[in-house]
Structure 1
């Protein structure tokens, strides 16, 4: 990545200086909290439209995230067939395609949640960006929060901690078999923010819809 590309990514990410109490100024995918423990929670995310940047040639989570986000940044700045400016949202989500690589990956998918204004009709990206629309069905996601920076050296450890928590929970045998991703890393902050950072590990699970219905009855 050239210095100019890096600067453009950092300029855009500088806008994401929020923590959990400040995030209301940025749109995020909507969810219902189904269950909460000290070390994980289960969320039911609603139907949503995302734009994704597949990254197949990188073995580094950090490099893949920078590569994918740079393309998404161009898209939201107007590199689409409508020349539309798309407001920034949070989090930036990097999903790991399972494989035998150093981070147990064969590739990555960097994902941008589309604001409500563009949910029904996302602007079409310019072909050279190699982006793809992704329409989520409602889904259950197990989440583990962690602070600091999400890096190659710690994301697997955090994913393993979530797996251990789930193995001791009612969702022990409910890891989703339908997803193409092993796990995802959600990042909420600019790389220029050093204090109060928020990241999350996401893993899809089954069964939280029924648990929500039981809790509501």
Structure 2
């Protein structure tokens, strides 16, 4: 009888853990070790999530023109790494966070340079007065909706555009797709963002995401 009760308790605990994850959204394992921005999970669909981020703050590079997303991400990452190591106006060190974002504005042709902006999430304790730095600028989001697709392994110049296309296909025909198209039309551009959660030296449990950021007007609000 005691064994049966123990098994029931184990199953109940497992169920509660699953429910908690469904309610709170999926955070990559690294977010248990370093700070990540909070979000509200709005919808979990087939191969996508819709999240609502509430006013996160990012330190961002100027646009980097390159034919390679990998090369641009690396360049931007090391500029931001110098920033958190104290290469800023306050000579202040800042804790590493996740994810590191690379916003991609694709070029018009296969041999033309695309434009990339790499961003680092500012920890909450630094948000009241983030150190400025030459060549970097601060971005503060309002309430921002994000359509998200997760994928593992290393993000490359080859697989990132394919994952972005897969996210677009997953949300095609939904009200989210219409809202994303409207937001991009307003900015007169087509953009997506790669979110990287792991250092290049981590080979297990790698998590990457493709993000489409967008706004919802009052008629579409939840």
Task: Judge same fold: TM > 0.5, yes or no.
Answer: yes
2:198/2:206 contact within 8 Å kept = yes
The higher radius of gyration belongs to 2
**1:212 Cα offset (Å):** 6.8
CA distance in 2, matches of 1:168, 1:104: 31
1-side partners of 2:194 and 2:111: how far apart? 13
Contact 2:105 2:116 in 1 (8 A): yes
- Does 1:137 pair with 2:131? no
The answer for the alignment partner of 2:194 in structure 1 is 185
Aligned length: 192
The answer for the alignment partner of 1:106 in structure 2 is: 114
Under a length normalisation based on structure 2, what TM-score does the superposition of the two structures give? Answer: 0.79
Tell me by how many angstroms 1:97 deviates: 1.9
Pairing 1:117–2:122 present: no
Q: What are structure 1's unaligned runs of at least 5 residues?
A: 1-18
Going by fraction, where is helix more abundant, 1 or 2? 2
CA shift for structure 1 position 30: 1.6
- Change in CA separation of 1:68 and 1:169 when aligned onto 2, cut-off 3 Å: same
Give TM-score, length-normalised by structure 1: 0.81
2:83 aligned partner: 75
Aligned equivalents of 1:209, 1:90: Cα separation in 2: 31
Residues 103 and 143 of structure 1: CA distance in aligned 2, closer, same or farther (over 3 Å): farther
Q: Hey, what's the Cα distance between the residues in 1 that align with 2:114 and 2:146?
A: 22
- Aligned alpha-carbon RMSD (Å): 2.2
**Shift of residue 210, structure 1, vs aligned partner:** 7.2
